[in-house]
Structure formats: structure tokens, C-alpha cells
Amino acid sequence: MSGLRRAAAELLLGELRAHPWPALVGVLAIAIGVAMGYAVQLINQAALAEFSRTVNSLMGNADIEIRGPRTGFAESLYPRIARLSDVVVASPVVEAEAWVPQHKQALKLVGIDVFQAAQVTPGLIGRPSSPRLANLDLLGTDTVFLSPTALASLDLKPGDALTVQVGLRPVTLRIAGALPALGEGLHLGVMDIGAAQWRLDRLGHLQRIDVRLRPGVDAAAFAETLNAQLPAGVIASTPQDTRQGTASLSRAYRVNLNVLALVALFTGAFLVFSSQALSVLRRRSQLALLRALGVTRSGLLRLVLTEGALFGALGALLGLALGYVLAALVLRYAGGDLGGGYFDGVRPTVHFDAESALLFFALGLSAAVLGSAAPAGEAARAQPARALKAGDEEAALAKLRPPWSGLVVVAIGMALTQAGPVSGLPVFGYLAIALLLVGAIMLMPWLAHSVFSRLPASQRAVFHLAYARLAGAPGRAAIGLAGILASFSLMAAMVIMVASFRQSVDDWLQAILPAQLYLRASPGGDAGYFSEAAQRIIASTPGVARAEFSRVSQVLLDARRPPVTLIARQIDARQPGRRLPLVGAALTLVPGDPPAVWVSEAMVDLYGFRTGRLIALPLAGRSVTFVVAGVWRDYARQYGTVALSRDDYRALTGDTHVSDAALWLAPGAGPAQIAERLRHRLAGGDNVQYVQPGEIHVASMKIFDRSFAITYLLETVAVLVGVFGIGASFSAQALARSREFGVLRHLGVTRRQIGAMLALEGALLALLGVTAGLGLGWCIALILIQVVNPQSFHWTMSVHMPWLLLVQLAAALVVAAALTALASGRRAMSAGAVHAVREDW
């Protein structure tokens, strides 16, 4: 038996030596799929680990974290919490995100009471650099301790001055030391809490209280009890809640990337299938010989499967190495957020992870084994006696199955699009796409036969032969066809989805940027603001016809979800559509209605804030009832946005600060000129960011394109894999058809004619493939647009078909297929092929 096994191995090796390309392409595709999946996994793991390390350092060993809106909650809550009998330590925290004008970046500043923090978040206690001033610097009114990462990225050292912007003013702090316990990856500074309240304009307010409980107290139960007594909008949560929130932040995005990786794996599996199917076909007589020599049916099955597994293992190993390198490079040069913007300020490094490596290795292996299963079964089922004779190849693929099973799979896929998300993930949407794809591939032999057998008979030999071939051998045609279908439909779906998204964002930007000049108190962070005096100066500046101010902040509605953005701006309740890109009809308010809010689509999905509903929002520690007067599209924020009239906001909170201004200019006044004027008129006017809608538009589209960069990359890879697949499938077919070519040459068909026939076959096949692919791609795009996106990111978009691009892509693919077919036929048309018709010589 071992001799047999060796003989079998030699046979296979010989085959591999003779036709390495189809197998190699399959291996490469598996490698690419594994690499992508593993890299995405590694990058996310690194980013998440770093992020949760951040959360850990910031929360220390707190049992409970009490958080409120971004603007904070009244500090009087602190003694109330500290006095609770189950509370051992309550550590009050002030937070601000301040702009550092000199270095053009925002810096998170945390104000702590060292005496309390020492027992909860010891990592946040600075190490003074000067032994003489020692611990006093921990309490300094102008001292700050920076994390190593912040020191590095700001290029500062202890003893240097750090100037941050608060309101429109510069506030200069002295760097008194570092925060060595924080290690790498955390970009922040720590001050005394009193100093932070004073210097950062946070007097009277806290952003957080970290609580340690008496041993034995159940933190979750305590938080629940406490929540009933906390002011509106202030929420106690356990670190697990917070961590869960952090992880869920990027989960949908991460899953989307992983699905793309799985698509690559699927393509890989398909390529392995096509290369194996054809190599089994080609080796029919060899395999039959093995059977005749005494290899059992299951032995043969194992043999072909082993071969597939070998390809899979090879590809997976290659993919893991590739993925690791890719992840390292991405983390090094692009950071951990994969263009998604979820992990700002986190600089993780890659760490080999055995568990996910095993997972992706297994995935790669199974893809290849799965791809080999059908050909292996085919090889095992073949009758050795018949297979040993020539001219039997087509029998293997001759069975034409009725389309019912494919149709059923497609129908199930269609039905699944109606299902809702599973824990915030569009599981059924993805499943629907997979089923549509599989169903469509199952339908391909039937489609090929029905279409090609209806082609008009031609008196031109080349056409006649090509048509007959396509109609007569649908099984083979289907292999190439499925490759084209899969790669083109996915490509088309992505192109349609991205184009739709891009166009929708474009339209949206036009709608939300009606003014001619926009002012932001500081380019980043939340410490900059325009005071009432500054607002008056802006509004009264000559050349400013109209000024609208808005206050952007965040409120917390659910401890397990990221905060919701609150925008207080001038909105005409009778015509909210003039300022907000509304989706659907807005509610007409009648006197006596509660104040109105207009919410983003995410609020409807996540919190059920439907138009017409009365909802409660925490403002300034009180719960205020609002009516939802409309829903609008917000592509800028995934976790929900609530817009309300600034008058209502001011009346309810007394908060007069604003963060942004939109200016309509008087005739003849230019935006640049007005910006210059404001720079002089406003104290601290140099710190203000002046932008024109065009710049915002360009910058936003740039961000859009950057966040889709990885998608484009994956798309390109998918196309390349698809083209490789077509090539592999054609050349394998051409090899399998060498006898046919030999006969044709005997019958007096010229080389050119065979070439033309092959090119025509390739082109026709590709044409059918891209046509079907376009239809399928359109369906998949609709699922992406109407199921996956709303369920993952909670926003909708309108469908835009990028016809020109699609036609160009389709044409390119058809030409590529024709050329590939032609190229693959060259070898088959050599003299050797002619001899293939002879049984001996």
C-alpha cells in the first residue's frame, strides 16, 4: 500500500510539475483571503487591546464608573456618591479635549484628585521630574503630566511649556513630569482636578466619578440601584459595560472587513475547485489507472482531498505570514483604525496571535478542501474502465441538472433580506448575499445552456464551433462562467454601493452646508468655544449678513452604547428641511407641543425615536420631554445625533457657549476677507478655524475615499483574483481540450480559426458572466445598501448606478477573458496537440 501511495504521490507531483499555474493561482487566492482576514483580525485585535488598555488605565480598578454628558454634571454629585456606605473610594475626574495650536492636534486632559485617584487609578498619577518641587507639582495650578506617547507626539519634555486653547484663549501649562505607568499608546495629560476645573473652564462640573466599592458588593446591582437616584443623563456602569461599548464601537466595521476577507477565501475555494476539477478531468486516465492498480474509491477520494488540503495548507501558511506583515505595515503607517476612525489617538503594535492564526489557517484549509470535494467525489465515482479510454472527458460534466435547487437557494437568500439584525450585525444580510451568490453559481450551467443553445446557427465555421461548444458543454462553460459571475457581481455590488454612498454623501454635504463661511472655535477637541461676547462680535462684523451658531456636545442615554451627539442650532420648526437633510416627512408642530427634536436615522434604529414620539432627553441634569419632529440623515456620526433648536437648548440649560458658527455673507463680501476681518476683531481670533463649504466638501470626500481605501484595495484584489481565476479555468480547459483541437486541425481548421474560436468562446462566456454578474451585483448592492449598511451603521442612502464605470469594467473583463482564452489556447494548438488524437505512434 505504501508503494501505491508513493506512486500516487508521484503522479500528483508530476501533474503539479506539468501544470503548476492553476494550482498556484488557487494557492495564491487562498493566501490572499487568509492574509486579508488575518491582517484585519490582527489589526483590530491590536487596536482593541490598545484601546481597552487605554480604558483600563483610565478606569484603573474602579468597580463603577459614573459618566454624564460631555459638558459634565454638577460636582455636588461627588460628595453624595462619596458618602454612600458601600463606596470605599470615589475619585472625581474632569476631562477636556483641548486643542494644542502649536502642534495642530487635540490632547485629552484629565483632572484628578491625586488622593482619591491613588486608590483607583494609580496609573494616572504623574511622576514629577524635579525632585525638589516633588509632589507639590501633582497639585499645581499650572502643571500637567503627559503620557510618554503625548510627550513623543508633541515633541516636548518635562520642564517645557504646553499651550492649549480654551475658549478662544491660550492657556499655558508647565510639563511637570511624565506618566510612566501608562506606557505607550495613550495620548493624554493629567492635571490636578482643581487646576483642570479652573484652567479648562470646567468650574463646578465633573465628567466622571470612578468608584471603588466595599468588597463583596455586587457592582452591577449597585450600579442599577444607583442609576435610579442619579440625575438625568448621568449613568453608573461597570467596566464590563464600558469595555463592551468600546468593542461594539467598531464591531460592525470590523465584521464588514472580515466579510470581505471571507469573500476572498470564497474566491480562493472556487479557484481551487476549478483548478482541481479540471486537473481531475485531465488526469482521468491516470486516476483510473490508480484505481485499476488497487487504490480504493475512498483512497482516491482521500488522495484528491489531500491534494486540496496541501494547496490549502500552503496557501494558508503563506497567507498567515503575509497577513502578519500586512498588519505590521498597516499599523506602522496607517494606525489601527483601518480608515474607520474608531481608534483615534491609539498607536498599537502588532502581536502574533495563535488563536486567530489557527482559525484563519483552518478557514484557508477548509476552503481548499471544500473546493476539492466535488472533483474528488467525481474522480472517485468514475468507472475506471471507461475513464481509461480516451474521449470520455465530457461525460464527467455532461449531466445537466435542472435549475430548481439553484432557484430555491436564491429564493431563500431573497427571503433572508427581510430579517432584522442579530445583536447589531447584519448577519442575515450577509447570509442572503452568500446564498444569492451560491444559488446564482448553481444556476450557471442551466443559464449557459439555455442562452447558448438559443444562439442563432451560423454558417461561419468559427462561430458555429464556438456556439456549439458553449451550448454543448455547459458544465465546463459553467466553471469559467461562475468565476466571472462571482468576481464581477461582487465587484459590481461594491462599485454600486460605494458610488451610491459617495453620491449620497455628496448630496448630503450640499444640504448641510448652506452658508458661505463656517467657523469652529477650535479645530479639534471640546475645550474651544465662542462666548456670548464673541458671538456678538461675529454677528456684528461688517459683511456678515446672517450668523447662526450651534453647540455640539454629547449626552449619554445608555451605558452600553456610545454617547449620542447633541446639536443645538437655529432650526425653523416650520421648515426644518432648510437646515437638516430630512428623510421622510417632518411633523408639523402645533401650539402646546413639547419642544421639538429632529433625530438622525441611527436614533430610530438604536433608541426607537420615531417621528411623532414623545421622548425624554437629559439636559443639565434634568429629564426633558421632547417630541420627535423628524428624522434626518447624518453620515458624520454613527451612534446617533439629536438636533434641537438653540433657543430651547439655551432656555433649558443656560449654556450660552457655542462651538460653531455658520455665516451668510452680505453681497460683495468674500469669505476670505470676512475671515481676515474676524481674525482681527475677535480676541483669540487666530485660534478659530475658518472654513468654506468647498473645503469641507473636499475634506469630507477625502475622508470618505480614505475610509473606503481598504475597500477599494480589497475590491482590486477580488478583481485580480477573478481574472486569474478565469485565466486558470481557461488554460485548464484548453489543456483538457487538446484532443478536440487535434481533431479540428485534422479537419482543416487553421490555428487562427481555433484562436478566434477560443477568443469568441471566452468573450461570449464573459459577456454572459458579466451580464448575469451585473444583475446579481445589483441585487447584492441593494442588499448592501438597504440591509447591511442600515443595520451596521444605521444610515440609508439612495441608489446611484455608475453606469459608465460598470460598462467599462464589464468591457474590460470581456476583453480580458477573450485574451486569456486566446492565450490559453496557444499551447494547446502546438504540434503536440495534433498528436493527441493518435493512440500510438
Partner 1 sequence: MEAPPREAGQPVLSLTAISKAYRNGRARVVLRDISLTLTSGEYVAVMGESGVGKSTLLNLIAGLDRADGGRIVFAGQDLAELDDDAMTALRRSAMGFVFQAFHVLPHLSVEQNVALPLLLNGVGRAESAARVAAMLAAVGLAGFGASRPSELSGGELQRVAIARALIHHPPLVLADEPTGNLDPETAAQVLRLLRDRIKAVGAAGILVTHSALAAATADRTLLLTSKGLAPHAPASPIGV
Partner 2 sequence: MKHYFTLLSGLAIFAALAAQALRASPPTYPPVEPGRSLHFPRDHGAHPDYRTEWWYVTGWLHTDSGAPLGFQLTFFRSRPPLDEANPSRFAPKQLLFAHVALSDPATGHLQYDQRGARIGFGLADAITADTAVSIDGWLLRRGVDGTYFATLAAQGFALELALQPTQASLLQGENGYSRKGPRPEQASFYYSLPQLTVSGTVTRRGKPERVNGTAWLDHEWASAPLAVEATGWDWVGLNLDDGGALMALRIRGKDGGTYWAGGSWRAADGSTHPLPPDSIAFHPLRHWRSPHTGTDYPVAMRVQAGGLHLDLAPLMDDQELDSRATTGAVYWEGAVTAHSAGRTIGRGYLELTGYAGRLVY
Binding site for partner 1 (CB under 8 A): 389-391, 393-395, 398, 459, 461, 464, 468-469, 471-473, 739-740, 742-743, 745-752, 831, 834-835, 837-841
- 740 backbone φψ class: left, alpha, beta (φ>0; ψ -120 to 50): alpha
Nearer to partner 1, 17 or 838 (CB): 838
**Least distance in angstroms from the C-beta of 468 to partner 1:** 5
**Least distance in angstroms from the C-beta of 169 to partner 2:** 16
Distance between CA atoms of residues 525 and 234, nearest Å: 21
Q: Which does 746 bind (CB under 5 to 8 A by kind): partner 1, partner 2, none?
A: partner 1
Q: Which does 134 bind (CB under 5 to 8 A by kind): partner 2, partner 1, none?
A: partner 2
Nearer to partner 1, 680 or 838 (CB): 838
Q: What count of other Cβ atoms lies within 10 Å of the Cβ of residue 459? A: 6
C-alpha to C-alpha distances, 344 to 54, 164, 338, 602, nearest whole angstrom:
12, 19, 11, 22
Q: Which does 198 bind (CB under 5 to 8 A by kind): partner 2, partner 1, none?
A: partner 2
Nearer to partner 1, 206 or 479 (CB): 479
Q: Which does 683 bind (CB under 5 to 8 A by kind): partner 2, partner 1, none?
A: none
Q: Which does 334 bind (CB under 5 to 8 A by kind): partner 2, partner 1, none?
A: none
Nearer to partner 1, 423 or 459 (CB): 459
Distance between CA atoms of residues 711 and 374, nearest Å: 32
Nearer to partner 2, 75 or 506 (CB): 75
**Least distance in angstroms from the C-beta of 469 to partner 1:** 5
Mapping DSSP onto H, E and C, the string for 127-140 reads: EECCCCCHHHHHHC
Residue (of 49, 728, 44) closest to 323 by Cα position: 44
**Least distance in angstroms from the C-beta of 787 to partner 1:** 41
Nearer to partner 1, 104 or 399 (CB): 399
Residue (of 714, 698, 326) closest to 497 by Cα position: 714
**Least distance in angstroms from the C-beta of 189 to partner 2:** 17
Q: Which does 705 bind (CB under 5 to 8 A by kind): partner 2, partner 1, none?
A: none
DSSP string of 713-774? HHHHHHHHHHHHHHHHHHHHHHHHTHHHHHHHHHTT--HHHHHHHHHHHHHHHHHHHHHHHH
Residue (of 39, 33, 431, 438) closest to 265 by Cα position: 33
H or E segment to which residue 399 belongs: none
Q: What count of other Cβ atoms lies within 10 Å of the Cβ of residue 355? A: 9
**Least distance in angstroms from the C-beta of 773 to partner 1:** 24
CA dihedral angle for residue 295, residue 300, residue 301, residue 306, rounded to 10 degrees: 120
Q: Which does 203 bind (CB under 5 to 8 A by kind): partner 1, partner 2, none?
A: partner 2
**Least distance in angstroms from the C-beta of 401 to partner 1:** 16
C-alpha to C-alpha distances, 76 to 83, 88, 229, 453, 605, nearest whole angstrom:
12, 18, 14, 83, 35
Nearer to partner 2, 111 or 371 (CB): 111
**Least distance in angstroms from the C-beta of 473 to partner 1:** 5
Q: Which does 395 bind (CB under 5 to 8 A by kind): partner 1, partner 2, none?
A: partner 1
Cα 588 to the chain's mean position, in Å?
38
Nearer to partner 1, 83 or 399 (CB): 399
Binding interface with partner 2 (CB under 8 A)? 75, 78-79, 82-83, 92, 111, 113, 115-116, 118, 131-136, 139-142, 192-195, 197-198, 203-204
Nearer to partner 2, 75 or 507 (CB): 75
Distance between CA atoms of residues 161 and 448, nearest Å: 74
**Least distance in angstroms from the C-beta of 440 to partner 1:** 24
Nearer to partner 1, 67 or 737 (CB): 737
**Least distance in angstroms from the C-beta of 583 to partner 1:** 54
**Least distance in angstroms from the C-beta of 230 to partner 2:** 17
Nearer to partner 1, 348 or 825 (CB): 825
Nearer to partner 2, 82 or 309 (CB): 82
Longest dimension (CA), the chain: 102
Q: Which does 835 bind (CB under 5 to 8 A by kind): partner 2, partner 1, none?
A: partner 1
Distance between CA atoms of residues 173 and 191, nearest Å: 10
Distance between CA atoms of residues 586 and 337, nearest Å: 36
Distance between CA atoms of residues 764 and 769, nearest Å: 8
- CB 787 within 8 Å of CB 794: no
Q: Which does 749 bind (CB under 5 to 8 A by kind): partner 2, partner 1, none?
A: partner 1
**Least distance in angstroms from the C-beta of 236 to partner 2:** 19
| C-alpha cell recorded at residue 264 | 476572498
**Least distance in angstroms from the C-beta of 224 to partner 2:** 25
Mapping DSSP onto H, E and C, the string for 767-810 reads: HHHHHHHHHHHHHHHHHHHHHHHHHHHCCCCCCCCCHHHHHHHH
Q: Which does 506 bind (CB under 5 to 8 A by kind): partner 1, partner 2, none?
A: none
- CB 821 within 8 Å of CB 759: yes
Nearer to partner 2, 62 or 555 (CB): 62
C-alpha to C-alpha distances, 219 to 64, 87, 562, nearest whole angstrom:
7, 10, 21
Q: Which does 142 bind (CB under 5 to 8 A by kind): partner 1, partner 2, none?
A: partner 2
Q: Which does 118 bind (CB under 5 to 8 A by kind): partner 2, partner 1, none?
A: partner 2
